[in-house]
């Protein structure tokens, strides 16, 4: 048991929590923005997957990791735009549309991968590039803190900046105000001349871009190739994190970290020899418990208020 | 028939046609023999009894999960827990099948009851958390899916795994638990009758009883429900229990209807399909049957296409995606609808 | 040829559920006038205004703005043209502050962020000019209906509207507030604003409007100079028959006490008393009116009586039973009907059929059920009857309530609540947004209930209504009862106004009569 | 491309169908079997078709029936479909079936079934890992702990584990083995995390048997400066061109030549020599499984290579027999894992 706590309270553990959290956080922030605009993006899982492939393909064919990243973001943007077109213009139910995007990604990525590489499993034969890890000057030399904060993939830092960016966008800017108004009372927004289509489109597009970054992180940061189904449910986890965060930036961030930490914990727990099936449920159990504690407290507070 | 109903039919028809055309365009690009490919996709499922059987076999679990999910959606609950319930209830049914040996009719009934009971308990919990503490049913249900899968996989691996087969499969179930095949030349089983009966009962319950009324009104406007004096907590619990019972029944029926051992090594996806079905059916029980058959048909068609032609199986997903997008587009052909409405109005004057 | 700022020609609007809301509407607006639009519920007034404001597109017809043919594709276009609109149903984002709601779509910016200081200044200036008191930093969801209305008006003004469309603005205002509004409107007119004013209260039309256009069933019946017409004449054109504006209320004997409120107090979140020491008795066969400016505790009082709030001090008895332990359902079972103030969120399930909304308070009754199942024939028959007797303008009983006009939605609620012969009827603003004819009908229904020995508690911001209908009257001010009149005839509007504003106040003994005299 | 209803055009051509109970891209059985089919097509000029039946096992039976009713000469499948295939084979006695991988010995008369002693090659992998961790190699540490990363806790995967542990213990009876299972085969990020945890816990060489997930181990090895062993195919080759540094970390791979086995079987069928009705175990001796001896392997210290060579010989001669996970209960496996846990 000693060795167990030794592994938890190490900088390695915190470091890996941050790494595990990164892709979830990207998608969760995306989910937050589109939810705020009243059009939940259930397609994040699929968009991440497509972007992961997009990043690999663009970087492999241009030889540039940066262009690969742009490619991933572009793929995210385009997929979200297609979803937006159907849901906003043709009034396809947004949930159904999201499900469709996920289906499309499942088949489409493998189809394209096969077309490009003759392999349905991984893109490892493509010379794709990776995005660099960054050592933060000064901070890297601080004991413990430096080990935890410095040396992450560049996209991890992008994610951290985006937390602040999204908070700023939603709470300080006119666009944010409009996004929230459209989500909460679209007639009200319409009545003051806010173009709800445009706002919703923007929110959807942003969520696609964010999922695109998450996808790029998976295939160009975490590992250096694309493999089938590699988003592995992170898009769904992100939706859960957003819902658990009750539509706030801080809450969404914390919930994402909770998921990340629980997942990192489950990796560590494997060392204890507990059956792996049972270990696999830890992140989910932790979420349920966390959510319930939060909800119960919240209910108590509300009761007091009434 | 009124304009709106007629329009719905025309729109669905055109949407299917257009998505098929797009599918055709992709097939044209990907296949050397687009015509026969299209034939296999669209026509062949209806050419053999066996294939039609496959469609119906696949539709049976979809009806259950679609029905369960539409009840939840109608109550205003975005609960995707049918997936985990399907898996675990299926496992429980197989355990009943392995551990017991009862006379012919009681054995399947016991298996289905146990499956339903489990579904009821799980959904009741999710509903309770929602009603009592307003805990997000979406999050909890997604988490429960993974949790029950983990627990199920553990139970299967440690207690019921047959070491003499290659996969992580359970021991063989006793034959007495299997549902009878009812149409020769197919694997269609009595689960179909149970499914149709359930649809009918749920329809009656939702649209013809006071409890169903409470469920629907609460789903549409919780404050109205409260104002009317409904106990919204109770309503949520009733709907959850009902949906859980149906999802659990679906998992059990699928396992004892289609399998000889428990073989799911991952969540089967049938529960998630329930959300798709419910949406396509606009949460109406009767429509669930058609939505399930429709989805089953295009899936079997796509399987046949992948089996018989050079089209890779991934095409199945791509075509499904396109069809869903178009069919659910409400504004699709709106212009046409307005014109026909206008005509009708003019005619009435 | 007159100088019309806005002309609508042969407007026709077909909604995609097949309802033709405007058949053929012609309408001309002169610069600088206050132009009333009147018509029954569902006549198509709001629809026409939404077309003007770019929120709906006409199916056919033409719009001329300053003589030039124009398409108003969206509200942004309308706003740009200098058209502002205050909608019949609030167009506010509940979680936003007043300030955020007001600047939405025209946010002042500093760099890339919203300049809230500037916004607050802008709003304060406006408030000063128009003397409409609001606190820009309050959350909108906490506002009273009247307050929300003010915010709506300010919203339009902030956008520099030259043409101001007001869709039933006074329906939710107190007489004082209405007067204030009229002062503002006249001032706006002097400053060169043009105003379109929709109201069901012809008295108001008479008092501030220059011209009036009457719409009936989607057709324009004509435009008249208000000075040439009497209220009765306008209403004749509108409804096609004479409406008796007086009630023939016979004297009624009070029965036993059905609702008793004893020493009721209620604390708000900040610990201040929103209700303090309320005492009154409601008797069978009596209509007890509650007058008062909105926000003086009426809402909380009704919440408690109807079982929606529990943590109060004191007692409320329904018959012999304290309601403390009763659920809303049990209170309803006792025979309480309730016409809620907020019909859209509490009164109906918008997306459900008319029929389904009509059975909300009797779906459990054995009359509508055959054992386990609903008796659909009876439900349909009941719904048809109610729709026709309450004159609800609709296609059929399987139309969704959300596609009805405001007044017709109100009729649905009233029909449902009044048709079960309740023991106690709590009526909050029962005729808000209802046309003259329908209002008259609803009033008669309420009086009929009283005659059939129902106890009625009537909350109305419309003093006229409160005086016409009530037998006895309570006036509330700052959470307390400040006056009680055994017989409304003891008082008049003038005097009530003084009580409502807290200027005058009866002695404790006089007020105690509210509970003792039964 | 194949249309099973039009049979006249090619009477003499051999027609071979491969039914995959899952999807391609697993980087394991299925991809390897498909590679075998490609060989058959290219070298033997047969008409071939691969059908991915997906993971929904209710769809396998209809596919088998369809294909069996078609004009295919040989139908290849295996692994999870073994039971079904045996039943179907009995119903279509005129058809020929090849089971590319099963440990079930019962084999109908028209089925030729094969079994790979993956436990033997992982015995070698275990021995190699053990030799590396106790060596003076650059990235080897002083702890005698090795790792195993499985995709899921299943008999197929555990068969590797059993051999791996036995092989490691043969070299060093005191060896410790950290065992992790990812729970799926398509999440390389998870594989990487599990790998990092292992490498941070004293492991300096780890063996992945986890498909796409397992590839994440290679990244972990690269990042944490440690060694990895690949599986199924020579996984160093996956990265040799795109990422040579990563490839260098992969000291060898436990390769299972399903492709060659399928090719050989079909070739024998053509020659009329294939012994239908038999179950054939193929191990190190048959060269159906082997450690990949690529340029990276060649760079290993000579003593290690000599020891491996010696153990190989002992397996071939039968001096060493390796245990298996098939037919073994979960508790027994659990006990084995416990016995080597650090
Ligand atoms: N009227 C106002 N004047 C000045 N600043 C304001 C005003 N209204 C809101 N803000 C600013 O907007 C920010 C967000 O306020 P809000 O209450 O919406 O936070 P929130 O939604 O809980 O935030 P988060 O989503 O980050 O958790 C505050 O920091 C506040 O400074
Ligand atoms: N969004 C909509 N969709 C369909 N029908 C509608 C919609 N809005 C209004 N209608 C219908 O159009 C008709 C006219 O409605 P409108 O709201 O214009 O009436 P109104 O004159 O404003 O009535 P009121 O005085 O009650 O507000 C009504 O029959 C109503 O049911
Ligand atoms: Mg109106
Ligand atoms: Mg070592």
**Using H for helix, E for strand and C for coil, what is the string for D127-147?**
HHHHHHHCCCCCCCCCCCEEE
Q: Closest Cα partner for C59 from B316, D228, D28, B338?
A: B338
**How many angstroms separate the Cα of C45 from the Cα of each of A190, A193, C167, C350?**
19, 21, 8, 20
CA distance D4 to B308: 7
- Nearest Cβ partner of D62 from B32, B50, B266? B50
Ligand 4 centroid, distance to D131 Cα (angstroms)? 9
- Nearest Cβ partner of B315 from A89, A107, A281? A107
* pLDDT tens string C202-221: 889 999 999 999 998 899 99
* pLDDT tens string A124-159: 888 889 999 999 888 888 888 888 888 999 999 999
- CA-based torsion, C359, C365, C371, C372: positive or negative: positive
Which ligand is closest to the CA of A253, given by its number? 1
* C contact chains, 3+ CB pairs < 8 A: A, B
Q: What number of other Cβ atoms are within 10 A of residue A274's Cβ?
A: 13
Looking at residue B47, what DSSP letter applies? T
CB A41 within 8 Å of CB A30: yes
Question: At residue C342, what are phi and psi to the nearest 5 degrees?
Answer: -95, 90
pLDDT at A270: 83
Average per-residue pLDDT for chain A: 91
* pLDDT-derived band at D3, boundaries 50, 70, 90: very low
Q: Which of B162-176, C227-241, D159-173 is the least confident region?
A: C227-241
CA distance C238 to B328: 43
- DSSP of D100-112: SS-------TTEE
Looking at residue D334, what DSSP letter applies? H
Q: In this model, does residue C130 exceed pLDDT 60?
A: yes
Q: Report CA dihedral (A285, A287, A291, A293) to the nearest 10 degrees.
A: 60
Residues 6+ apart with CB under 8 A from B234: none
pLDDT at C50: 93
CA distance A31 to A203: 9
Q: Which of A160-169, D6-15, D228-237 is the least confident region?
A: D6-15
Nearest CA to ligand 1 atom 17: A171
Is B320 a domain residue?
no
Is B323 a domain residue?
no
Q: What number of other Cβ atoms are within 10 A of residue A122's Cβ?
A: 26
> Taking CB atoms and an 8 Å cut-off, how many pairs form between chains A and C?
76
Q: In this model, does residue C410 exceed pLDDT 60?
A: yes
**Ligand 2 proximity of C95 Cβ (cutoff 6 Å):** no
Contacts of B210 in chain C (CB under 8 A): 363-364, 369, 374
Chain A residues with CB-CB distance to D under 8 A? Answer: 7, 12, 16, 19-20, 23, 110, 113, 119-122, 124-128, 218, 222-225, 227-230, 232, 263-264, 267-268, 270-271, 273, 275-277, 280
Is B123 a domain residue?
yes
Distance from CA of B231 to the nearest CA of A (A): 18
CB D195 within 8 Å of CB D216: yes
* pLDDT-derived band at D5, boundaries 50, 70, 90: very low
pLDDT at B65: 97
Contact between chains at B168 and D329 (C-beta distance less than 8 A): no
Is B34 a domain residue?
no
CA distance B254 to B64: 10
Query: Which domain covers residue B101, as residue numbers?
Result: 55-280
Contacts of A27 in chain D (CB under 8 A): none
Q: In this model, does residue C243 exceed pLDDT 60?
A: no
Q: Closest Cα partner for D112 from D76, D159, D149?
A: D76
CA distance C280 to C262: 7
CB A26 within 8 Å of CB A211: yes
Q: Which of C285-299, C410-424, D29-43, D73-87 is the least confident region?
A: C285-299
Q: In this model, does residue C246 exceed pLDDT 70?
A: no
- DSSP of C342-407: -IIIII--TTSBHHHHHTTTTTTSGGGEETTEE-HHHHHHHHHHHHHHTT---S-TTSBGGGS-HH
Question: At residue C353, what are phi and psi to the nearest 5 degrees?
Answer: -70, 160
* pLDDT tens string A200-210: 999 999 999 99
C303 in B contact zone (CB under 8 Å): no
Nearest CA to ligand 2 atom 16: C44
CA A67 vs. chain centroid, Å, equals: 20
Q: Are strands C257-267 and C313-318 parallel, antiparallel or unpaired?
A: antiparallel
pTM equals 0.86
Structural domain total, chain B = 1
**Using H for helix, E for strand and C for coil, what is the string for chain A?**
CHHHHHHHCCHHHHHHHHHHHHHHHHHHHHHHHHHHCCCCCCCHHHHHHHHHHHHHHHHHHHCCHHHHHHHHHHHHHHHHHHHHHHHHHCCECHHHHHHHHHHHHHHHHHHHHHHHHCCCCECCCCCCCCCCEECCCCHHHCCCHHHHHCCEEHHHHHHHHHHHHHHHHHHHEHHHHHHHHHHHCHHHHHHCCCCHHHHHHHHHHHHHHHHHHHHHHHHHHHCCCCECCCCCCHHHHHHHHHHHCCCCHHHHHHHHHHHHHHHHHHHHHHHHCCCHHHHCCHHHHHHHHHHHHHHHHHHHHHHHHC
CA distance A60 to A127: 5
* pLDDT tens string C25-59: 999 999 999 999 998 888 899 999 999 999 999 99
Mean pLDDT to the nearest integer, C150-168 = 88
Q: Which ligand 2 atom minimizes the distance to the CA of C200? A: 25
Nearest CA to ligand 2 atom 13: C21
Residues 6+ apart with CB under 8 A from C4: C28, C29, C30, C31, C64, C67
Contacts of C91 in chain A (CB under 8 A): 185, 187-188, 190-192
pLDDT at C1: 47
Residues 6+ apart with CB under 8 A from A145: A139
* pLDDT-derived band at B310, boundaries 50, 70, 90: confident
Distance from CA of D81 to the nearest CA of A (A): 21
CA distance B268 to B247: 13
Q: In this model, does residue C503 exceed pLDDT 90?
A: no
Q: Are strands D47-52 and D15-20 parallel, antiparallel or unpaired?
A: parallel
Mean pLDDT to the nearest integer, B76-95 = 96
- Nearest Cβ partner of D80 from B33, B167, B268? B167
- CA-based torsion, D303, D304, D309, D311: positive or negative: positive
Q: In this model, does residue C381 exceed pLDDT 80?
A: yes
**Ligand 2 proximity of C58 Cβ (cutoff 6 Å):** no
Distance from CA of A194 to the nearest CA of B (A): 21
CA distance C214 to C38: 5
Q: In this model, does residue C12 exceed pLDDT 90?
A: yes
Ligand 1 centroid, distance to B280 Cα (angstroms)? 39
Is B100 a domain residue?
yes
Find the helix packing angle between B210-220 and B232-258, rounded to 10°: 110
Is B17 a domain residue?
no
Ligand 4 centroid, distance to D215 Cα (angstroms)? 22
A89 in B contact zone (CB under 8 Å): yes
pLDDT at D2: 40
* pLDDT tens string B224-245: 999 999 999 999 999 999 999 9
pLDDT at B54: 95
pLDDT at B2: 61
Higher-confidence position of A236 and B196: B196
Topology at the third CATH level for domain C4-239? Rossmann fold (3.40.50)
pLDDT at A3: 56
Q: Report CA dihedral (A54, A57, A60, A66) to the nearest 10 degrees.
A: -20
CA distance D101 to D89: 16
What superfamily would CATH give domain C257-517? P-loop containing nucleotide triphosphate hydrolases (3.40.50.300)
**How many angstroms separate the Cα of D175 from the Cα of each of B100, C48, D127, D148, D225?**
44, 85, 10, 13, 21
Higher-confidence position of D182 and A9: D182
D63 in B contact zone (CB under 8 Å): yes
Contact between chains at A232 and D242 (C-beta distance less than 8 A): no
Indicate the domain borders of chain C: 4-239, 257-517
CB C316 within 8 Å of CB C322: yes
Question: At residue C506, what are phi and psi to the nearest 5 degrees?
Answer: -80, 165
CB C455 within 8 Å of CB C286: yes
Q: Closest Cα partner for D150 from B159, A3, A277?
A: A277
Q: In this model, does residue B178 exceed pLDDT 90?
A: yes
Q: Based on C-alpha coordinates, what's the Rg of chain A?
A: 20
Question: At residue B92, what are phi and psi to the nearest 5 degrees?
Answer: -60, -45
Residues with CB under 5 A from ligand 3 (ion): C 46, 88, 406
Is B10 a domain residue?
no
Residues 6+ apart with CB under 8 A from C200: C38, C168, C171, C407, C433, C434, C435, C436, C439
**Ligand 2 proximity of C407 Cβ (cutoff 6 Å):** yes
Q: Are strands C313-318 and C472-477 parallel, antiparallel or unpaired?
A: unpaired
- Decide if C4-239 and C257-517 have a common fold: yes
CA distance A60 to D306: 40
Query: Which domain covers residue A59, as residue numbers?
Result: 22-232
Mean pLDDT to the nearest integer, B105-115 = 96
CB C267 within 8 Å of CB C435: no
Distance from CA of D216 to the nearest CA of A (A): 7
* pLDDT-derived band at C245, boundaries 50, 70, 90: low
Ligand 3 centroid, distance to C53 Cα (angstroms)? 14
Residues 6+ apart with CB under 8 A from A5: none
Residues 6+ apart with CB under 8 A from D9: none
Angle, CA of C476, C482 and C483, to the nearest 5°: 100
- Nearest Cβ partner of D327 from B157, B163, B169? B163
Nearest CA to ligand 2 atom 2: C403
pLDDT at D7: 42
- CA-based torsion, C181, C186, C187, C191: positive or negative: positive
Mean pLDDT to the nearest integer, C409-426 = 93
Chain A residues with CB-CB distance to C under 8 A? Answer: 168, 172-174, 177-178, 180-181, 184-185, 187-195, 305-306
Contacts of D104 in chain B (CB under 8 A): 164-166
Is A294 a domain residue?
no
Residues 6+ apart with CB under 8 A from D244: none
Average per-residue pLDDT for chain C: 88
Q: Which of C87-96, D65-74, D194-203, D302-311 is the least confident region?
A: C87-96
- Nearest Cβ partner of B345 from C20, C329, C373? C20
Q: In this model, does residue C10 exceed pLDDT 90?
A: yes
Report the SS3 class of residue B219. Answer: helix
Helix ranges restricted to H, C20-137: 45-52, 75-80, 98-103, 116-130
Find which of A110-114, C390-394, D206-210 is predicted with most confidence, using mean pLDDT: D206-210
Mean pLDDT to the nearest integer, B55-80 = 96
* pLDDT tens string D8-45: 444 578 999 999 998 888 888 899 999 999 999 999 99
- Nearest Cβ partner of A227 from D152, D186, D194? D186
Contact between chains at B50 and D55 (C-beta distance less than 8 A): no
Q: Lay out the sheet containing D145-150: strands in order across.
A: D176-181, D145-150, D203-209, D227-232, D250-256, D289-291
Is A273 a domain residue?
no
In this prediction the ipTM stands at 0.83
Structural domain total, chain A = 1
**Ligand 2 proximity of C218 Cβ (cutoff 6 Å):** no
């Amino acid at each position: 048991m000693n060795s167990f706590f030794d592994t938890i309270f190490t900088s390695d553990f915190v470091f890996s929590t941050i790494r595990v959290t990164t892709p979830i956080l990207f998608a969760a922030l995306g989910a937050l923005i589109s939810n705020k605009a009243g059009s939940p993006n259930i397609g994040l899982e699929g968009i991440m997957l497509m972007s992961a492939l997009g990043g690999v393909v663009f970087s492999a064919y241009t030889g540039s990791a940066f262009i690969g990243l742009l490619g991933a973001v572009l793929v995210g943007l385009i997929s979200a735009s297609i979803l937006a077109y159907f849901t906003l213009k043709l009034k396809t139910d947004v949930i159904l549309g999201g499900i469709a995007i996920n289906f499309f990604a499942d088949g489409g990525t493998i189809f394209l991968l096969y077309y490009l590489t003759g392999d349905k499993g991984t893109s490892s034969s493509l010379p794709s590039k990776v995005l660099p890890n960054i050592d933060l000057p000064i901070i890297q030399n601080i004991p413990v803190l430096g080990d935890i904060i410095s040396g992450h993939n560049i996209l991890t830092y992008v994610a951290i900046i985006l937390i602040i960016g999204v908070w700023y966008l939603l709470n300080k800017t006119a666009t944010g105000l409009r996004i929230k108004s459209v989500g909460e009372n679209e007639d009200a927004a319409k009545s003051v001349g806010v173009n709800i289509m445009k706002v919703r489109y923007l929110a959807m597009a942003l969520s696609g871009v964010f999922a695109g970054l998450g996808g790029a992180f998976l295939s160009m940061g975490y590992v250096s190739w694309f493999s089938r189904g590699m988003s592995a449910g992170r898009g769904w986890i992100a939706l859960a994190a957003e819902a658990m965060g009750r539509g706030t930036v801080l809450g969404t961030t914390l919930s994402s970290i909770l998921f990340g930490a629980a997942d990192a914990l489950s990796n560590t727990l494997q060392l204890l020899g507990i059956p792996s099936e049972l270990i696999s449920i830890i992140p989910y159990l932790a979420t349920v418990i966390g959510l319930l504690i939060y909800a119960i407290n919240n209910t108590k507070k509300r009761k007091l208020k009434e | 028939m009124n304009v709106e109903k007629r329009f719905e039919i025309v729109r669905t028809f055109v949407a299917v046609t257009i998505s098929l055309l797009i599918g055709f365009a992709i097939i044209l690009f990907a296949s050397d023999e687009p015509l026969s490919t299209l034939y296999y996709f669209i026509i062949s499922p209806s050419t053999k009894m066996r294939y039609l059987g496959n469609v119906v076999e696949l539709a049976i679990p979809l009806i259950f999960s679609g029905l369960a999910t539409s009840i939840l959606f109608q109550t205003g609950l975005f609960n995707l827990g049918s997936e985990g319930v399907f898996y675990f209830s299926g496992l429980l049914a197989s355990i009943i099948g392995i551990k017991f040996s009862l006379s012919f009719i009681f054995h399947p009934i016991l298996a289905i009851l146990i499956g339903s009971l489990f579904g009821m308990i799980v959904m009741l919990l999710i509903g309770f958390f929602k009603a009592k503490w307003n805990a997000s049913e979406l999050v909890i249900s997604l988490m429960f899916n993974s949790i029950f899968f983990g627990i199920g996989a553990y139970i299967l691996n440690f207690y019921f795994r047959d070491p003499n087969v290659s996969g992580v499969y359970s021991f063989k179930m006793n034959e007495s638990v299997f549902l009878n095949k009812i149409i020769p030349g197919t694997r269609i089983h009595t689960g179909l009758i149970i499914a149709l009966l359930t649809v009918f009962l749920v329809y009656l319950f939702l649209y013809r009883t006071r409890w169903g009324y409470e469920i629907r009104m609460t789903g549409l406007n919780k404050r109205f429900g409260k104002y009317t004096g409904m106990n919204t907590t109770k309503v949520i619990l009733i709907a959850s229990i009902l949906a859980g019972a149906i999802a659990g029944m679906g998992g059990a029926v699928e396992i004892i209807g289609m399998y000889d051992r428990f073989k799911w090594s991952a969540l089967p996806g049938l529960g998630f399909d329930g959300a798709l079905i419910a949406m396509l059916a606009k949460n109406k029980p009767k429509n669930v049957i058609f939505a399930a058959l429709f989805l089953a048909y295009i899936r079997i068609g796509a399987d046949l296409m992948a089996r018989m032609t050079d089209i890779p199986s991934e095409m199945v997903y791509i075509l499904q995606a396109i069809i869903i997008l178009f069919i659910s587009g409400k504004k699709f052909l709106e212009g046409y609808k307005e014109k026909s409405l206008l005509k009708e109005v003019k005619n009435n004057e | 040829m007159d100088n019309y700022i806005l002309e609508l020609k042969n407007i026709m609007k077909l909604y995609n559920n097949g309802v033709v809301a405007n058949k053929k509407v012609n309408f001309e607006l002169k610069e600088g006038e206050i132009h009333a639009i009147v018509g029954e519920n569902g006549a198509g007034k709001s629809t026409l205004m939404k077309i003007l404001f770019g929120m709906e597109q006409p199916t056919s017809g033409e719009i001329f703005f300053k003589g030039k043919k124009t398409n108003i594709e969206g509200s942004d276009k309308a706003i740009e043209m200098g058209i502002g609109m205050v909608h019949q149903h609030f167009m506010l984002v509940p979680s936003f502050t007043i300030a955020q709601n007001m600047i939405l779509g025209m946010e002042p910016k500093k760099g890339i962020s919203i300049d809230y200081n500037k916004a607050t200044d802008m709003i304060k200036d406006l408030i000063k000019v128009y003397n409409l008191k609001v606190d820009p930093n309050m959350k909108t969801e906490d506002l009273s209906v009247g307050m929300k209305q003010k915010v709506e008006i300010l919203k339009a003004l902030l956008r520099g509207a030259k043409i101001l469309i007001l869709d039933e603005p006074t329906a939710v205002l107190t007489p004082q507030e209405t007067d204030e509004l009229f002062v503002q409107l006249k001032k706006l007119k002097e400053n060169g604003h043009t105003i379109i004013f929709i109201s069901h209260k012809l008295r108001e039309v008479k008092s501030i409007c220059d011209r009036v256009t009457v719409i009936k069933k989607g057709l324009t019946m004509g435009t008249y100079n208000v000075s040439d017409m009497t209220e009765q004449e306008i209403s004749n054109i509108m409804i096609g028959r004479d409406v008796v504006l007086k009630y023939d209320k016979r004297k009624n004997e009070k029965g036993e006490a059905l609702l008793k409120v004893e020493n009721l107090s209620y604390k708000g979140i900040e610990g201040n008393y929103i209700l303090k020491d309320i005492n009154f008795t409601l008797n069978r066969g009596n209509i007890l009116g509650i007058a008062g400016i909105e926000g003086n505790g009426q809402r909380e009082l009704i919440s408690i009586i109807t079982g929606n709030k529990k943590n109060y001090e004191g007692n409320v008895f329904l018959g012999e039973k304290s309601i403390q332990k009763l659920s809303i359902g049990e209170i309803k079972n006792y025979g309480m009907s309730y016409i809620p103030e907020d019909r859209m969120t509490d009164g109906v399930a918008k997306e459900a059929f008319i029929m389904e909304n009509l059975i909300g308070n009797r779906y459990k009754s054995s009359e509508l059920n055959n054992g386990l199942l609903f008796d659909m024939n009876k439900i349909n028959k009941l719904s048809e009857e109610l729709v026709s007797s309450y004159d609800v303008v609709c296609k059929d009983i399987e139309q969704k309530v959300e596609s009805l006009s405001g007044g017709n939605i109100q009729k649905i609620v009233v029909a449902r609540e009044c048709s079960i012969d309740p023991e106690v009827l709590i009526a909050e603003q029962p005729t808000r947004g209802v046309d003259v004819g329908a209002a008259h009908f609803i009033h008669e229904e309420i009086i009929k209930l009283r005659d059939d020995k129902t106890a009625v508690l009537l909350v109305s911001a419309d003093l006229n209504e409160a005086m016409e209908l009530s037998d006895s009257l309570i006036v509330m001010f700052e959470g307390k009862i400040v006056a009680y009149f055994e017989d409304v005839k003891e008082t008049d509007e003038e005097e009530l106004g003084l009580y409502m504003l807290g200027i005058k106040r009866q002695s404790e003994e006089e007020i105690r009569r509210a509970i003792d005299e039964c | 491309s194949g249309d099973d209803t039009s049979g006249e055009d090619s009477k003499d051509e051999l027609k071979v169908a491969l039914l995959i109970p899952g999807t391609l891209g697993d980087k394991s059985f299925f991809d390897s079997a498909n590679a075998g089919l490609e060989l058959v097509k290219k070298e033997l000029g047969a008409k071939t078709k691969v059908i991915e039946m997906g993971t929904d096992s209710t769809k396998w039976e209809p596919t088998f029936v369809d294909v069996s009713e078609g004009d295919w000469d040989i139908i290849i499948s295996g692994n999870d479909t073994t039971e079904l295939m045996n039943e179907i084979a009995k119903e279509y006695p005129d058809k020929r079936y090849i089971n590319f991988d099963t440990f079930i010995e019962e084999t109908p008369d028209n089925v030729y079934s094969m079994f790979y002693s993956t436990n033997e090659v992982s015995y070698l992998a275990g021995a190699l890992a053990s030799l590396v961790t106790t060596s003076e190699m650059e990235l080897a540490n002083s702890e005698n702990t090795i790792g195993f990363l499985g995709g899921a806790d299943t008999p197929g995967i555990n068969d590797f584990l059993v051999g791996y542990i036995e092989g490691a213990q043969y070299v060093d009876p005191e060896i410790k083995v950290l065992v992790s299972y990812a729970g799926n085969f398509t999440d390389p990020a998870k594989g990487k995390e599990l790998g990092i945890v292992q490498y941070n816990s004293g492991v300096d060489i780890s063996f992945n048997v986890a498909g796409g997930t397992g590839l994440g181990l290679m990244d972990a090895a690269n990042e944490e400066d440690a060694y990895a062993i690949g599986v199924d195919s020579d996984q160093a080759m996956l990265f040799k061109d795109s990422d040579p540094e990563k490839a260098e970390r992969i000291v060898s791979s436990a390769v299972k030549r399903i492709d060659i086995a399928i090719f050989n079987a079909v070739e024998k069928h053509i020659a009329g020599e294939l012994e239908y009705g038999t179950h054939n175990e193929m191990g190190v001796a048959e060269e159906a499984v082997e450690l990949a001896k690529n340029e990276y392997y060649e760079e290993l210290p000579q003593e290690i290579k000599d020891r491996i060579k010696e153990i190989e010989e002992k397996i071939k001669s039968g001096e060493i027999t390796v245990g298996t996970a098939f037919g073994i209960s979960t508790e027994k496996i659990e006990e084995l894992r416990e016995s080597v846990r650090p």
